[in-house]
Each structure stands twice: as structure tokens, then as C-alpha cells.
Amino acid sequence: MSSILSLSHVGMRYPALDGSGAVHALEDVNLEFRPEEFVVALGASGCGKTTLLNVIAGFLRPTSGSIALHGHPITGPGRDRGVVFQKHALLPWLNVVENTEFGLKLQGVGSRERRAIARENLGLVGLSEFEGYPVYQLSGGMQQRVGLARALTSNPEILLMDEPLGALDAFTRESMQELILKVWARAKKSVFFITHSVEEALFLATRLIVMSPRPGRITHTYDLNFWQRYFDLGDARKIKSHPDFIAMREEVLSIIYGEEAAA
């Protein structure tokens, strides 16, 4: 399968705050996104995963290397790459369905057509009954679901999710993980997902990339199938407590802690 998005030798250096040299946020990152792939980036804070997402989204310009979408270089943000933020970033003056259809409105899609698409996506995230609600009256988990529906409604090539569950409580987080997998399977999108939760990463990823700090780079890559087992068994707890899952979790944790100790 051909790749949707490819990064080659991407590097990012910030000038250091005290003016002495530069901070290597990313160094020599090579990554390919294939259709319908769920790539999860995992790493301790400071490993450059958010920088990587911002570079892909076009919010930051890498200082070296190149990023191409279907062979065309990326120069800035665009609707081919939908973003779900850690803090929802919804517009409080619009209600749930208006937020969801906002991207289509920007593109000049007629109100009836965009409303229909928005409703479909709200249904996908289970918020059909809340379409007329003001977004500031929703819980954090529901706001993130609106954020997901909004990103889907613009019909991007790839969904970029920047620790979308980071601000949620543990129970909401687990149910959101299952919801995200279901939405991903239905929408058939490529996803790039950032997290610092090992369990979350293992559960969701078709491909896991482990990143390490100073300089931020990809150190390990795993192809995983726990998501597949979830669709076969339908029980997230059973998968997360399975010996295979625990063994994998310990392996990844030892990588991350090993790097911490070495650093």
C-alpha cells in the first residue's frame, strides 16, 4: 500500500532559552503513514512527540528534512490533516452541532448538507441527543467527543490526536479509548495519536513508536494487534489484563525507564 504521509529526516531545533546553543526537539525522524493505520507515539515528556504532531499538522516548520502528503510537501495547516487537541478547543459561541459542522461552513458547504454530515458524525461519537447543547455545559469527555466529531466532519486524510484523553479521568478515559477504536474502524481514517499512557498506546496502536528525549527521536517501533483482539472479544479489561499485554507493557516501560536512567 502506498503511504499517505511521509516524513524523511525531519529535525527540529529551538534556540535554547539561555542562548547557549540549541534544543534538539526532533532529530532524524523517518515515518510513513499508510491508509487506515493507527500510529501511536509514546514517550516521556520532552521527547518531542507534541513537536512531531505540530510539525505534521503544519503549525511548526521543521528546521531540517521534509514532510509530504501524497508526495506534495506540506507548508502549513490544512483540512487534509484534522487535529483533535488535548483541550477540546471548541468555540463556545457555537452549540454542539454548529461546532461539528464548523469546518464545512468554512469551506462554504450548504447548511443542509453540512448539518447532515455533522449529525452523522455526532451519531458516531454517541452525541446525537446533545446537538443543541452549548458546548460549555458538556463534561470534558463529551467535549472531546465533539472535538473528534468536528475533526471527522472535515473529512481529513489523517487524524492527528494530541493527547486527546490526557485531561480526562481514568474511567472516562478507558471508555473513550474504546469509542476511538470504534470510530476509527467505522471512519477508516489514518490516525496519529500521542499519549504518555503505555496501556492506552498498546491498546489502540496498529503501530507503536516509542520516542526518547534529548534529542527527540524514534527509538523503537512495534506492530501491535491488541486492537484486533478487542474487536474479536469486545472486552477491553480482558485484553489489558492478558499476559501478552502485560509482558508488552513491561517491555515498553523498561525502555522508557531505561532511557530515563541513562539520561
Partner 1 sequence: MSRAIAALFSRRAPHGVEQFGAPGTGNSTLISVCTIAAILAAWWLVSHFELIKPLFVPPPELVLAKFARIACTEHYLERLQVLLGMRGEASAVCEGFSEHALHEHTLWSLYRVFSSFFLAVITAVPIGIAMGTSRIARGVFDPPIEFYRPIPPLAYLPLTIIWFGIGDFGKIFLIYLACFAPLAISARAGVRSVSIEQIHAAYSMGASRQQVIWQVVIKGALPEILTGMRVAIAFGWTTLVAAEMVAAKAGLGVMVLNAARFLATDIVFLGIIVIGMIAFAFDLMMRALERALVPWKGRM
Cα distance between residue 24 and residue 219, in whole Å: 15
Span interacting with partner 1, options 7-15, 79-87, 185-193, 255-263, rule CB under 8 A:
79-87
> Which residues in the 159-188 window bind partner 1 by CB under 8 A?
160
Q: Which amino acid is at 88?
A: H
Q: How far apart are CA 239 and CA 242, in angstroms?
A: 5
Q: Please tell me the distance from the alpha carbon of residue 107 to that of residue 83, in angstroms, as a whole number.
A: 16
∠ CA 15-19-25, rounded to 5°: 30
Stretch that binds partner 1, among 14-22, 64-72, 134-142, 200-208 (CB under 8 A): 134-142
CA distance to 17, 104, 160, 182, 225, per residue, from 187 (Å): 42, 17, 14, 9, 19
Angle at 159 between CA 158 and CA 164, to 5 degrees: 165
Q: Does 59 bind partner 1 (CB under 8 A)?
A: yes
Size of the site for partner 1 (CB under 8 A): 30
Smallest distance from partner 1 to CB 164, Å = 12
Instruction: Select the residue interacting with partner 1 from 11, 43, 48, 58 (CB under 8 A).
Output: 58
- Closer to partner 1 by CB, 139 or 225: give it: 139
Q: Assess 14 for contact with partner 1 (CB under 8 A).
A: no
Q: Looking at 13, 65, 85, 182, which residue binds partner 1 (CB under 8 A)?
A: 85
Q: Which of 107, 139, 221, 241 binds partner 1 (CB under 8 A)?
A: 107
